[in-house]
Amino acid sequence: MKISIIGAGIIGLSTALTLADRGHQVTVHDPAPGSGASHHAGGMLAPTAEVVYKQDPLFPLMLAAAEWYPQLIELTQRYSDVATGYRTDGTLVVARDRADNTHLEELTAYQHLHGMEVERLTTRRARQLEPALSPALAGAVEITGDHQLQPRRFTQALLDACEKASVSIEPYAVHDVDEVDADQVVIAAGLGAAGITGWYEGERNPLDLRPVYGDILHVRVPEHQYPLLTRVVRGFVEDRPVYLIPREDKTLTIGATTREDGRDQPQIQGVYQLLRDAIELCPALEECDLIEATAGARPGSPDDLPYLGRVNERVVVSTGYFRHGILLAGMAARCGADLVEQIDPPISLEACDPMRHRR
């Protein structure tokens, strides 16, 4: 079967590779592969730490994605020897002060209520695991099942794997599904999906997508400090979330703010907030080299759930993954490929109906 994937972020490329591995003739259309939300993502595979209150329909998607991620990594590495940055060291979540610790205790109780594995630690034990953490922390938990990868490296690994799996990468944008010669089309263009026509009736695209910007920083750890951290550290500082992600290339990622102001450049306020909060948790960060500050737009929907489903006999939509795009790629690739092949996905996608916000 001839299949066209519109969009070459991690969602589109993972879906393309899955379909190519199943024996299909796959073409991916994107003028700048990996330049969208995937380029600015942190890369945490954190179905437990990223739980959001009252978003219960999202939990089974996140848990399934995490369960299937090793299969996606294995598939990628079967075709490519490019490093993905995939690490399974686990995650610490820490609280800066007593009020933050109350937040952490409430979140832990909520996670336990939904059957998630979270272990309460003393701050002394947390500092034994990560000596660079501040001695002034008020609370800590460990989540061994939350992992990470390096999105930019993973994108390159996926591109290399797709090429070796005979996926054709066409460097141009598609604005109408009728422009492509394919039996099946997957719209995985992130925010760009809102401008793609030819698959719905009427003048208005049913996908109600909005850009949610986030500032993110990359620092280099000096040789004498490496490794500054050995696992992901997430924290609450005056109730603000912040995360620190150590990488194998001796860099460390700090993120991420959330704003809907339409400004696509990193903001001074956001950079300052991230640095201040990260240093509160890990004071030795002050000695690191700041190498990059960027801002990316995540594709959000009104209910912050993705759009994933078949919309007609020829078109499948896979977009709107908001803050969880890297994690949910493990689910999007498998379920998206099943939808293309008209196989019932192994989990319910009822909450992800692409037509649910049609006006």
> Rounded to two decimals, what is the model's pTM?
0.97
236 found inside a domain: yes
My answer on whether 218 and 295 are in the same domain is yes
289 found inside a domain: yes
My answer on whether 31 and 73 are in the same domain is yes
Domain containing residue 267: CATH number: 3.30.9.10
298-338 tens-digit pLDDT: 999 999 999 999 999 999 999 999 999 999 999 999 999 99
What tokens does 26 get?
A: 């796959």
44 found inside a domain: yes
Final residue belonging to a domain, choices 300, 317, 334: 300
Q: Which residues contact 160 (CB under 8 A, 6 or more apart)?
A: 79, 80, 82
My answer on whether 217 and 106 are in the same domain is yes
My answer on whether 347 and 226 are in the same domain is no
359 found inside a domain: no
pLDDT at 52: 86
Structural domain for 286, as ranges: 91-144+211-300
Total domains in the chain come to: 2
358 found inside a domain: no
The CA distance from 277 to 53, in Å, is 23
My answer on whether 255 and 160 are in the same domain is no
My answer on whether 112 and 225 are in the same domain is yes
120 found inside a domain: yes
Domain containing residue 172: CATH number: 3.50.50.60
**Spatial contact of 258 and 326, defined as CB atoms under 8 Å apart:** no
Which of the residues in the chain have pLDDT under 50? none
The CA distance from 259 to 129, in Å, is 33
My answer on whether 113 and 173 are in the same domain is no
Question: What are the DSSP E strand ranges found in the chain?
Answer: 2-6, 25-29, 44-45, 91-95, 119-121, 139-143, 147-148, 168-170, 184-187, 210-220, 232-237, 240-246, 251-255, 289-300, 307-310, 315-319
H or E segment to which residue 18 belongs: helix 10-21
My answer on whether 20 and 77 are in the same domain is yes
Strand partners for 121:
140
